[in-house]
Amino acid sequence: MNMISPDAPKPIVITKNKSQSTKIKPIVDFRTIKVQGGKGGDGCISLRRLPKNPHGGPDGGDGGSGGHVCFKATSNKTSLEHISSLLKGDDGEKGINRDCHGRNAEHLVIEVPVGTMFRSTDGNILADLEVEGAMFIAARGGAGGKGNHYFATDVNQAPEIAEFGADGEELNYTLEIRTIAHVGLIGLPNAGKSTFLRAISRARPKVASYPFTTLQPYVGVVKYDDLQQVTVADIPGLIAGAHRNRGLGIAFLRHIERCLCLLYVVDASLPQPWQQLEVLRYELEQYDSKLLERPSGVLANKMDLHQSKENLNALKSYVDKLNLPLFPVSAQNHLGISSVLHYVRQLYDGSNTEEVLEE
């Protein structure tokens, strides 16, 4: 096992009691929305008549443009729950006489988590906001109409025509967050993924002794004493044949597709626990073989049970062959957790330095 340097950032131990409320909010990572750009303001028809200049000519101003509906990626948001199903940009103001143009509407900018993908109704990916600050204009506002001063010509000095403002675009999208956490927990049902997430964070996914307790992903935050936060996602259990839609299928693996690292949670108390790893890695390969190359670690959970101690050596030799680190833990009794969190932090720091080097 890795030696922990004394200077390494330490995970902060949770001391405050967690809420007893049964209202638990799973993360909203999918939304279908309709966006409407604002309408442009109408142009104005006006002919200037002043006491000393009764034929002052056309002075109807142009309408202002309608506002766009834009999305901006930010790391301050982690879910899509703040996004309503209909988003409408503001309308531009109408033009008025004396050549006063209507005001352009402000664009509506909605913040979404980094890693949000936009798909059209036919399933094509139209935008993928992978970096902080990236923007996507989902619906353009309509242009403002021209006022009658625009239509003045040599032969028609007093035109009584103006344009209406154009309607804004009206489009439907499905939004999906691919990057929900830095670390993904993968395991068979009942391996103890939710118990582990409860032990390391203030998240409260339901824990029970029957399979498929977790039906939607949950995200917990691990805090370190240098104020860095690392997010960990608990996703529903996988079973053999999940890629053929057995159990809950493998569609939810999209949640961990962009995790920096993966932690396989294995119930070490079951006979031949390495078989669980085989199943998990096979299902991952079926989804996307690149997932197997992701930095990973194996948690041998339920080490408080005596069968686990008997199985540990055999599991270790299998995991060594895969060249992965093995962490014996007991999520229920909070044992062996700090070395996992140190390892997670190392991977997190390593991935950040790689990004800097790439830049």
Ligand X SMILES: Nc1nc2c(ncn2[C@@H]2O[C@H](COP(=O)(O)OP(=O)(O)OP(=O)(O)O)[C@@H](O)[C@H]2O)c(=O)[nH]1
User: Residue 304's binding partner, choosing from Mg ion, ligand X, none, with beta-carbon cut-off 5 to 8 A by kind?
Assistant: ligand X
Does 302 contact ligand X by CB under 6 A?
yes
HSE-CB of 87 using CA atoms within 13 angstroms: 28
DSSP states along 238-302:
P-TTGGGT-TT-SGGGGGGTT-SEEEEEEETTSSSTHHHHHHHHHHHHHH-GGGGGS-EEEEEE-
Mask for 177-206, x = binds Mg ion (CB under 5 A): -----------------x------------
Does 311 contact Mg ion by CB under 5 A?
no
Stretch that binds ligand X, among 17-25, 188-196, 273-281, 317-325 (CB under 6 A): 188-196
User: Residue 209's binding partner, choosing from Mg ion, ligand X, none, with beta-carbon cut-off 5 to 8 A by kind?
Assistant: ligand X
The smaller minimum CB distance to Mg ion, of residues 38 and 192, is found at 192
Q: Which of 177, 182, 260 is nearest to 222 (CA)?
A: 182
Taking the complex as a whole, the smallest distance from the CB of residue 209 to ligand X amounts, in Å, to 3
The smaller minimum CB distance to ligand X, of residues 179 and 269, is found at 269
Taking the complex as a whole, the smallest distance from the CB of residue 13 to ligand X amounts, in Å, to 18
Q: Which residue bears the tokens 């993966």?
A: 262
Does 311 contact ligand X by CB under 6 A?
no
In the chain, where do the E strands start and end? 30-36, 47-50, 53-58, 69-74, 86-88, 108-113, 116-119, 125-129, 135-139, 170-177, 183-187, 218-223, 229-234, 261-267, 296-301, 326-328
Q: Which of 249, 134, 266, 94 is nearest to 196 (CA)?
A: 266
Q: Which of 113, 125, 119 is nearest to 80 (CA)?
A: 113
Does 286 contact Mg ion by CB under 5 A?
no
Query: CA-to-CA distance for 152 and 149, rounded, in angstroms?
Result: 6
* Count of positions on this chain that bind ligand X (CB under 6 A): 24
The smaller minimum CB distance to ligand X, of residues 155 and 210, is found at 210
Mask for 316-335, x = binds ligand X (CB under 6 A): --------------xxx---
User: Residue 330's binding partner, choosing from ligand X, Mg ion, none, with beta-carbon cut-off 5 to 8 A by kind?
Assistant: ligand X
Of 246-285, which residues contact Mg ion (CB under 5 A)?
A: none
Query: CA-to-CA distance for 119 and 67, rounded, in angstroms?
Result: 22
Does 194 contact ligand X by CB under 6 A?
yes
User: Residue 65's binding partner, choosing from ligand X, Mg ion, none, with beta-carbon cut-off 5 to 8 A by kind?
Assistant: none
Taking the complex as a whole, the smallest distance from the CB of residue 220 to Mg ion amounts, in Å, to 12
Does 301 contact Mg ion by CB under 5 A?
no
DSSP states along 112-145:
EETTEEEE-TTS-EEEEE-STT-EEEEEPPPPPP
Rg (CA), the chain: 29
Sign of CA dihedral 140, 141, 142, 144: negative
Structure tokens at 137: 């204009």
Does 201 contact ligand X by CB under 6 A?
no
Mask for 205-244, x = binds ligand X (CB under 6 A): --xxx-xxxx---------------------xx-------
Binding stretches for ligand X (CB under 6 A):
187, 189-195, 207-209, 211-214, 236-237, 301-302, 304-305, 330-332
Binding stretches for Mg ion (CB under 5 A):
194, 213-214
